[in-house]
Structure 1
Amino acid sequence: MGRREQGYTPGTPCWIDLTTPDVEGAIAFYGALHGWTAREVMEGAYWYFEHDGAVVGGLSALNDEQRAAGMPPAWSMYVNVEDAAASVASAEALGGTSTLPPMEIPGIGTMAAVADPQGGVTLLWQPGPFAGAEVVNEVGAWAWDDLQTTDPEGAAPFYEGLFGWSVAEIPGAGGAYMSIAHEGRGIAGIMRATRDIQQPYWTVYIGVDDVDAALKRSTDAGGRVIVEPMAVPTGRFAVGLDPQGAVFCVLESSAYDD
């Protein structure tokens, strides 16, 4: 897919960002891991991660309220919607809850957040001038998402109803994995969590040339591996923990979806 010249259609994941207790530490870590640089766009509040001059993700610091609530460092995924308020209402009608009412960011767009019936949070993005990541599905850019949940069967109808996604179990997966398609192409998956988790969450995958080399860079920069490299039909992936405690994934693929 590469560079997104035309933005994103409703129901398409469009942006990722990291919330962390240590902005400078995260900038150093992801710079070492992916060659990203960071550009401050809201003084002391928000930064863009860039790769080869293109915006690929965002970064913000955990604020006092989030810290007091016990919010952990985490990557988040945003989905393009036509109307954030209407999407929040739809989520509630489908059994979800609003975790952040629509909030306009002047000159950029409107964001909101909803939780599925199991508690997994998805960010909604009603674009203004800012559509989302400029480059996706390449080495050094965001390439995939998986929802980690203890109840894939319960989660699937919520996302189908909210975003118009098509969710299907992967043959032979034994209920462990479902694929998500939108407008005829694969965009994400739903994975049955293999360990105890406090609530469902989205994992964000970044494209790499070589998973083993990426994990070596991560370890050298203070990260650690929590899921060793695993083979999938189009390549290999692994899961790590950055030095600040956020889960990240790396994906080596021969066939990034276009």
Structure 2
Amino acid sequence: MGRRQSYTPGTPCWVDLTTPDVEGAIAFYGAVHGWTAREVLPGAYWYLERDGAVVAGLSALNEQQRDAGMPPAWSMYVNVPDVGEAAARAEALGGAVAFGPTPIPDVGTMAAVADPQGGVTLLWQAGGFAGAEVVNEVGAWCWDDLQTGDPEAAAPFYEGLFGWSVTDVPGAGGAYRSIGHEGRAIAGIMRAARPIDRPYWTVYVGVEDVDAALRRSADAGGRVIVEPMSVPSGRFAVGLDPQGAMFCVLESTRYDD
């Protein structure tokens, strides 16, 4: 099992969903993944749990975010030893600091940085909270892909910021690159299949059966935008939840602890 008590620097450590309809999102992901929600910041933030373990987070889209036109979306956080230093390094690499660093008492410090093409990644310096307690198994977050129109330009920024190693995947024709860290694959960079305004991360959750997960999604008001596809690691599909956030499901026998 992918139990975690800590994350090394450069390792993705947390994912959360920002949504305009908290109750609707809790009901949807409960139906699809069996998650339950625990409110940890009244009216603002919830932990999503499976079998008592924290697997992801959920935040309410606030008025300022709504006014700015921020859509519902999943986000990915990467562990760093010093958020301020990492944010400064992002700027030196041609990126920008979107917000922060922001300390959260007794929990940690966060910031958001944008790569040179505008794709946003969250930085996390752990305090009392390291990140997801379970990863890389059914019912838990297991993978991330950066969708971008220019994978070649994206790679150097993330290699410089996190020490990642980005390599072409044989047979992908340049459309997909694997992100390696500390000797294992942790994520990917994918050439977007359609024009996009700016890069974004897609978050995958493990499921026993992709088709069954999509049926549960449909029953709960979701819809499919990428039908199930086979890849070397298994099968995946992409959908939209009822609030409009993109979600991905992955059926695999090769989850990496």
Is the shorter-chain TM-score for this pair beyond 0.5, marking a shared fold? yes
Aligned-partner Cα distance in 2 for 1:130–1:96: 27
Q: CA deviation at 1:39?
A: 0.2
SS of equivalent to 1:135: coil
SS of equivalent to 1:136: coil
Identity of aligned residues (%): 80
Aligned-partner Cα distance in 2 for 1:234–1:251: 9
Q: CA deviation at 1:61?
A: 0.6
Aligned-partner Cα distance in 1 for 2:17–2:124: 16
Q: CA deviation at 1:206?
A: 0.1
Q: State the aligned residue count.
A: 257
Q: CA deviation at 1:74?
A: 0.1
Aligned-partner Cα distance in 1 for 2:92–2:169: 28
Q: CA deviation at 1:102?
A: 0.3
Q: Give the alignment's TM-score, normalised by structure 2.
A: 0.99
Q: CA deviation at 1:234?
A: 1.9
Corresponding residue of 1:119: 118
The AA in structure 1 aligned to 2:24 is G
Q: CA deviation at 1:188?
A: 0.1
SS of equivalent to 2:125: strand
Unmatched segments (≥5 aa) in structure 2? none
Aligned-partner Cα distance in 2 for 1:66–1:133: 25
Corresponding residue of 2:148: 149
The AA in structure 2 aligned to 1:37 is T
Does residue 1:221 correspond to 2:220, yes or no?
yes
Which string of whole-angstrom CA distances, capped at 9 and with x for unpartnered residues, describes residues 148-187 of structure 1?
0000000000000000000001011111000001000110
CA RMSD of aligned residues (A): 0.6
Corresponding residue of 2:203: 204
The AA in structure 1 aligned to 2:3 is R
Q: CA deviation at 1:224?
A: 0.2
Does residue 1:84 correspond to 2:83, yes or no?
yes
Unmatched segments (≥5 aa) in structure 1? none
Q: What does 1:1-258 align with in structure 2 at a 5 Å threshold?
A: 2-5=2-5, 7-258=6-257
Aligned-partner Cα distance in 2 for 1:254–1:233: 10
Q: CA deviation at 1:195?
A: 1.0
Aligned-partner Cα distance in 1 for 2:47–2:25: 12
